[in-house]
Amino acid sequence: MNRIDAIRSMNRLGSKRIPFLFIIDFDMLKSHVLPIGDIDRREILYDINGFSNHTTGTKLLKKITFSKRPLSLNRYRSAFKKVISNLEMGNTYLLNLTFPTSISTNLTLKEIFENSRAKYKLYFKNKFVVFSPERFISIDGKTISSNPMKGTIDASIRNAKEVILSDKKELAEHYTIVDLIRNDLSMVANSVRVERFRYVEKIKTQNKNLLQVSSKITGTLPKNYRTKIGDIIFKLLPAGSVTGAPKNKTVKIIKEVENYTRGYYTGIFGYFDGFKLDSGVMIRFIERSKGKMVYKSGGGITALSEVKNEYQELIDKIYVPVV
């Protein structure tokens, strides 16, 4: 459904406290708003921070094979230079640059969903699978929270936690995104504040462990927010952590330099159970395209970024959290 119909549907279901699942693509052109009772488990599976419609899948008995063929460093460097040029001209202060990567694996999309470890998981009609560590927003009572994630490092690096927390580029990027999300939440909530700043979590993958840096920002919604759930969600989109700042101008630059369609990648999905809401950003994303598997990944670029480091981060984020 289109944006207007999605907003109306979410507002209607929210006002009646009817539980529903929502899936929204990056460009907000294709949305799905589905009452929980109408979801066909043969086509859509979800596990949203423990709120799930599936039981544990069959244990994998095969050895996992997984390989990736990322774009060349030269091709990445060409796009990177365009981003740096826009940063130098003041058109953007932070831009999330992403690219698709062809992968090969003996896992099906459904097997990846059933066996991966992530807070926000979604399997959609054998078209794509998401195993995201990043929250978009949650609502509990009248409190709205967001946990933007910025900063990734190989956990095997000596003193990895100290290295990433002391990195000036990562710190600048994190400050920018926290400020952006704080401003976004201020459009829909009062008393917006940073509750936790730069905490570190470990993510286990099939070949290495990663550390991710996040912050928590909260605010207070009006009493009747359930009647406006659709308006609230769409007002906050696209997610700031996967676009940059300033958001509108940066999105235009993204479309110019990436030169591909993100689709559902970096969109959002979540649920409303009648009382609470939780949602994830659709990063860590694999889709089927023309009979092949494609993984989309990237990272934030600032004026302090170094091309080889950013290129390596894009590659490091190509994994499945199945161990």
Residue 79 resides in a domain: yes
Q: How many structural domains does the chain have?
A: 1
Domain housing 42: 3-141+223-316
pTM over 0.75: yes
- Dihedral of the CA atoms 246, 164, 265, 219 (nearest 10)? -60
Kindly give the pairing relationship between strand 209-220 and strand 190-204.
antiparallel
pLDDT band at 207 (very low <50, low <70, confident <90, very high): low
| Nearest-angstrom CA–CA distance, 142 and 162 | 36
Q: What would the pLDDT profile of 109-120 be if each residue is shown by its tens digit?
A: 999 999 998 999
Residue 157 resides in a domain: no
Kindly give the pairing relationship between strand 120-124 and strand 128-132.
antiparallel
Contact call for residues 98 and 297 (beta carbons, < 8 A): yes
| Nearest-angstrom CA–CA distance, 176 and 307 | 19
Q: Using the CB atoms, write b or e for 56-87: b if 16+ within 10 Å.
A: eeeeeeeebebeeebbeeeebeebbebbbebb
Residue 281 has a CB neighbour count (10 Å cut-off) of: 29
pLDDT surpassing 70 at residue 58: no
pLDDT surpassing 80 at residue 205: no
Residue 193 resides in a domain: no
Q: What would the pLDDT profile of 279-292 be if each residue is shown by its tens digit?
A: 999 999 999 988 89
pLDDT surpassing 70 at residue 206: no
CATH assignment at residue 99: 3.60.120.10
- Dihedral of the CA atoms 90, 92, 95, 100 (nearest 10)? -90
Residue-level pLDDT at 254: 98
Residue 35 resides in a domain: yes
Average pLDDT value over all residues in the chain: 93
Residue 290 has a CB neighbour count (10 Å cut-off) of: 5
Q: What would the pLDDT profile of 142-155 be if each residue is shown by its tens digit?
A: 999 999 887 778 88
Residue 211 resides in a domain: no
Residue 196 resides in a domain: no
Residue 19 resides in a domain: yes
Give Cα 4 distance to the centre of its chain: 23
Residue 159 resides in a domain: no
Give the lowest-confidence range in 206-210, 211-215, 274-278. 206-210
